[in-house]
Every structure is written in C-alpha cells, then in structure tokens.
C-alpha cells in the first residue's frame, strides 16, 4: 500500500498535525485529503477514496464524535479498503469516539487495521486555566510518526490476510446509540458561544474563515449560539485575542478541567 487518503476534521489544527505526522511515519504518499472542517466539503457528495489506505482522524467533543460530521462519515464508501482510526482528545478522555468511529467505518465498508488516541490542547484551555497546553508537542508528534511506521509494517505483513483485532476499547451499546442519534454537541448545555471584544478585534476575518459551521455573522462578527459547536477555533486562532468562551452558571467545567489537567495523559496505540 503506497497511496494514502487522509479524512480529517480539525478546526484548531491539532488533529491535522497528528495525522500529518502519522502519514510521514508511514512512508505512504498522500494522494487525497478530505477536510471535513470545511462546510463546502461536507455539503458536497463524498468523493471516491483514491488511496489504497485511509486514515480517519477527528477531535473528541463531549466524549464522542462531533455530531456535525456524523452524516458525512456515514456516507463514505470504503469499498474494502483498510483504514486507521485516530481520536484526539484534550487530556480528559477519548470517551466513545474510537468505538463510534469503528462502527461507522466498518458499516461504511472499511477494514479497520489499527487505531490510536492522541492528546492535544483542550478547546477550553486558556492561559489562566491551561489543559494540555501546547500539545501535541514534539514527543506527541514523534509518537504519531512511530504509529505510522508500525502501521505500515502491519499492513505489509497482512497483505491478503485478515488484519486481526486491535483491542479498541468497547463502549456500552446504549451510550453509542444515544450519542449517535444526537444532532448537536452537548457542550452547548454548559458552555456559551464565544463572545467578541470589539475593542480588540482587528477585523482580519480569520474567525470567519476558521469557523467550521459558518456560525459567525460576516457583518457584526457575532456568533450564532445555535450553530456554534464550541470548537473554539475562533478563540484559538484570533491574532488579537478578541474572543473568549465562558461557562454557564453552576457548570462544573472549570473545576473538572483543572482536575484533569494535573496528570498529563499519553497516546494509546491499538495495533
């Protein structure tokens, strides 16, 4: 297997970094990237998978796959091609994401060859309350490259035979059904949409281009709370630090994140 297709959703760019490192380590040539961060891509029919092998990577939102990309993932056609699954989480937990992704990939006709979970800076991380700040760092990206090398070695040795079990953690079927039927990310229940400080805004439009849902009004630059998925791309990428996220009263999120940030978690590889 020499040709690789990357399928990714990466509003803040961390999942993209990890997938690129995996691809580099694998030694395969990337012939196609399907970037599900773009509303234009998600609004078009899914293309044919051009590579011999696919890597599907996404961030974990509220313990699972971002609801916004579920319909597109389910419409992909693997046609028997092998795939690796990657979940990127903010040092809290990979949750149900890999189990969800495995069910969807297998139903869509992919043969799951391997999986991994990696840590990246949490979407809600701030300078005052850092959670996995700066990750993926050099060590994370080296681990991603190593995963790519191990993945390529497994594929080379498995040509024409079953790929075998990977030991991906199983999740309760009832939770998978509930999460799979949700049409919005539950983060909206405890996190407000990012607000704009007009005194700091430079009018550069980076937030408009970064928003994966088109939730930002091009004139007022206000965020439509119902369309916002709380990915915080507009917060992280704003060069003037003009946006910030806040939490609803009595939401325990700040304390939970503080507790989870004390012990850095490490990547887990399933080969």
Tell me the per-residue pLDDT of 144-157, one tens digit each, with 9 for 90 and over.
Answer: 999 999 999 998 88
Q: How far is CA 215 from CA 8, 58, 62, in A?
A: 20, 20, 19
- 249: DSSP letter: T
Q: Rounded CA gap, 205 and 243, in Å?
A: 13
- Taking 50 as the pLDDT cut, the residues of the chain under it are 160-161
Query: Residues of CATH 3.40.50.360 domain(s) within the chain?
Result: 3-179+264-270
Bridge-based pairing of strands 111-119 and 82-89 is: parallel
Selecting from 3.30.160.20, 3.40.50.300, 3.40.50.360, 3.30.465.10, what CATH number does the domain 3-179+264-270 have?
A: 3.40.50.360
Longest dimension (CA), the chain: 61
Q: What is the CATH number of domain 192-246?
A: 3.30.70.20
Cβ atoms 245, 124 nearer than 8 A: yes
Q: Given this model, what pLDDT does residue 108 score?
A: 96
pLDDT of residue 175: 75
Q: Where in the chain is the domain with CATH 3.30.70.20?
A: 192-246
**Per-residue model confidence (pLDDT) at position 266:** 95
Separation between Cα atoms, residue 183 and residue 94, nearest integer Å: 20
Torsional sign, CA 152, 163, 112, 78 = positive
Count the residues in the chain. 271
Q: What is the pLDDT of residue 161?
A: 47
H/E stretch holding 244 reads strand 243-244
């Amino acid at each position: 297997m020499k040709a690789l297709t990357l399928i990714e959703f990466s509003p803040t760019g961390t999942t993209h970094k990890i997938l690129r490192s995996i691809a580099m380590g694998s030694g395969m040539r990337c012939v196609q990237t399907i970037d599900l961060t773009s509303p234009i891509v998600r609004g078009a029919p899914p293309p044919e998978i051009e590579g011999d092998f696919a890597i599907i990577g996404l961030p974990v939102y509220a313990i699972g796959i971002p609801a916004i990309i579920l319909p597109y993932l389910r419409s992909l056609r693997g046609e028997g091609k092998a795939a690796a699954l990657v979940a990127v989480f903010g040092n809290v937990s990979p949750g149900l994401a890999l189990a969800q992704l495995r069910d969807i990939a297998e139903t869509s006709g992919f043969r799951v060859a391997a999986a991994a979970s990696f840590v990246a800076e949490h979407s809600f991380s701030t300078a005052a309350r850092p959670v996995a700040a700066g990750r993926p760092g050099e060590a994370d990206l080296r681990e991603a490259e190593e995963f790519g090398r191990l993945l390529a070695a497994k594929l080379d040795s498995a040509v024409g035979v079953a790929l075998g079990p990977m030991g991906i953690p199983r999740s309760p079927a009832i939770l998978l059904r509930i999460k799979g039927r949700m049409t919005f990310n539950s983060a909206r229940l405890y996190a407000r949409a990012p607000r704009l400080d007009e005194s700091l805004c430079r009018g550069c439009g980076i937030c408009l281009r970064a928003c994966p849902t088109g939730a930002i009004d091009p004139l007022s630059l206000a965020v439509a709370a119902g369309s916002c998925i709380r990915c915080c791309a507009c917060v992280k990428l704003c060069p003037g630090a003009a946006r910030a996220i806040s939490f609803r009263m009595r939401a325990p999120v700040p304390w939970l994140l503080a507790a989870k940030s004390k012990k850095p978690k490490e990547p887990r590889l399933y080969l």
